[in-house]
Amino acid sequence: MNAFPVTEDPRAITPGLPAPLSRHLEVATLFTQEYPLVLESGRSLSHVQVAYEQYGTPSPHHDNTVFVCHALTGDSHPARHDPDDIPGWWDVMVGPGRPVDTDVFHVVCANVLGGCAGTTGPLSPGETGRPLGPDFPEITVGDMVTVHRALLAHLGIGRLHSVVGGSLGGMQALEWLLRHPGDAGRFFLIGTAPRLTTDGLAAHAVGRAAIRSDPQFDQGRYADGLFGAGPRQGLGIARMVAHLTYMSPESLETKFGRAVQIGREPTGPAHGRYAVERYLEHQAGKFVARFDANSYLHLTTAMDRFSAFERPHLLTPGNGPAVHVFSFASDRLFGSDITGELLAQLTATGLTKVTHYRDTDSPAGHDAFLLNVPGYLREMRAVLAPSVV
């Protein structure tokens, strides 16, 4: 993999980064005009910026590195580096004494290609200096993995101990397994699927329609590289729709039921008084403060078009990497049928080391993979142990 080995100050060179940032964020510039990143669409990108963070210490033989792939709206900061650091999105999983134990493992996590937290994406400037916006090329989950692998080459890391990811991160881990099975000894596919169901496609379609119909969308040419511009209402609605797929009906009922938000009277028939509505509006408000609408369009489209077993894979029957699948009974986005399909297709490749842990305790739904679910975390800790293959 050809990479241009430059690491720079992300605050100085990267427009549109959300605040606050961990002081541990690094940015590498990969690929060159001579050796660009050739995307699966046939288009190419040169000088791709990749925002990433590292935890722990590499072993002398560089065989203790775990690569963490983030989900749709995640970034390169899964966990605190120290008590004074900002919270991470996976603090229950990554850190000292956690299943991905940073006292044992060297951990790398990168913002995906097409994201909006430091890696090249629609907010990146084009030739005119304005954000690429809708001119940013179509990307795939495979393109994301290509950039991850280029980052590892830049860091001088060869074979990984593990690749770990949940949801879209799990799709990246699955793609990595199928195309480059020799890159790691273990692959962890958590709360994920080989493809989106029609229900998942529909939820994304509604969200993208909400963004496109916002008067501030302006065909995607709304931003000058700053967060807060553009289709805030549409992006917020997209988040509300998606959030419903991340929670289970039971968790919604338990948390809210038909409770009325105290002190918040409706202003008319279009505005309800129910606590669940206020909760979704709160989630929308938090989201639009940290995410870019064009990135959301590109990343959800990449998820939609992902079909892991549609192309030939490089797995061969017999011994291969260990594959650990984790699912959640309350997950309405990736239910038991799609998990069964994933397991059947993995088995059909001839892999001999495939395990499946299904949590039946957490009512949290799809988001359970991010939460403190004791049985799931115990199993993750057990199978991640360095002596376990």
Domain architecture of the chain: domains with CATH = 1-155 (3.40.50.1820), 159-195+309-389 (3.40.50.1820), 199-303 (1.10.1740.110)
The pLDDT > 90 percentage for the chain reads 81
Residue 6 has pLDDT above 60, yes or no: no
47 is catalytic: no
pLDDT at 318: 82
Interhelix angle 168-179/141-155, nearest 10 degrees? 70
The yes-or-no verdict on residue 264 having pLDDT over 70 is no
| Per-residue pLDDT at 126 exceeds 80 | yes
Three state DSSP letters for the chain:
CCCCCEEECHHHHCCCCCCCCCCCCEEEEECCCCCCEECCCCCEECCEEEEEEEECCCCCCCCCEEEEECCCCCCCCCCCCCCCCCCCCCCCCEECCCCEECCCCEEEEECCCCCCCCCCCCCCECCCCCECHHHCCCCCHHHHHHHHHHHHHHHCCCCEEEEEEECHHHHHHHHHHHHCHHHEEEEEEECCCCECCHHHHHHHHHHHHHHHHCCCCHHHCCCCCCCCCCCHHHHHHHHHHHHHHHCCHHHHHHHCCCCECCCCCCCECCECCEHHHHHHHHHHHHHHCCCCHHHHHHHHHHHHHCECCCCCCCCCCECCCEEEEEEECCCCCCCHHHHHHHHHHHHHCCECCEEEEEECCCCCHHHHHHCCCHHHHHHHHHHHCCCCC
Q: Over 70: is that where the pLDDT of 228 sits?
A: no
- In the predicted structure, residue 45 carries a pLDDT above the cut 50: yes
Tell which residue, 92, 100, 143, has the closest CA to residue 367: 92
Exactly one of 292, 331, 359, 367 is catalytic; which is it?
331
pLDDT category, 128, cuts 50, 70, 90?
A: confident
On the question of pLDDT at 239 being above 70, the answer is yes
Q: What is the predicted pLDDT for the residue at 261?
A: 81
Give the active site residue among 70, 214, 366, 367. Answer: 366
Q: What average pLDDT does the segment 167-185 reach? A: 97
The proportion of the chain whose per-residue pLDDT surpasses 70, expressed as a percent, equals: 90
Q: What pLDDT score was predicted for residue 192?
A: 98
State residue 84's pLDDT score: 92
Asked if the model's pLDDT at residue 346 lies above 60, the reply is yes
Whether pTM exceeds 0.85: yes
The average pLDDT across 1-21 equals: 50
Instruction: Compute the mean pLDDT over every residue in the chain, rounded to the nearest whole number.
Output: 91
Does the structure show a pLDDT above 70 at 16?
no
- pLDDT band at residue 17, thresholds of 50, 70 and 90? low
Mean pLDDT of 103-125: 95
**Selected catalytic residue, list 124, 167, 327, 362:** 167
Does residue 218 have a pLDDT over 50?
Answer: yes
**Residue 10: which of 1, 209, 19, 57 has the closest Cα?**
19
Q: Assess whether 331 carries a catalytic annotation.
A: yes
pLDDT value for 339: 97
Residue 9 has pLDDT above 90, yes or no: no
Going by pLDDT thresholds of 50, 70 and 90, the confidence category of residue 1 is: very low
Report residue 262's pLDDT band, with 50, 70 and 90 as the boundaries: confident
Checking if the pLDDT of 294 tops 90, the result is: yes
Predicted confidence band of residue 2 (pLDDT cuts 50, 70, 90): very low
Whether residue 135 has pLDDT greater than 60: yes
Check whether 112 has a pLDDT greater than 80.
Answer: yes
Confidence class of residue 5 from pLDDT cuts 50, 70 and 90? very low
Looking at residue 385, its pLDDT comes to 84
- pLDDT tens track for 295-329: 999 999 999 999 999 999 999 888 789 999 999 99
> Higher-confidence residue: 348 or 61?
348
Is 282 a known active-site residue? no
Which of 35-44, 257-266, 293-302 is the least confident region?
257-266
Count of all residues that appear for the chain in the document: 389
Q: Which residue has the higher pLDDT, 271 or 248?
A: 248
For residue 140, pLDDT over 50 is answered with yes
pLDDT digits (tens, 9 = 90+) for 65-75: 999 999 999 99
pLDDT band at 268 (very low <50, low <70, confident <90, very high): low
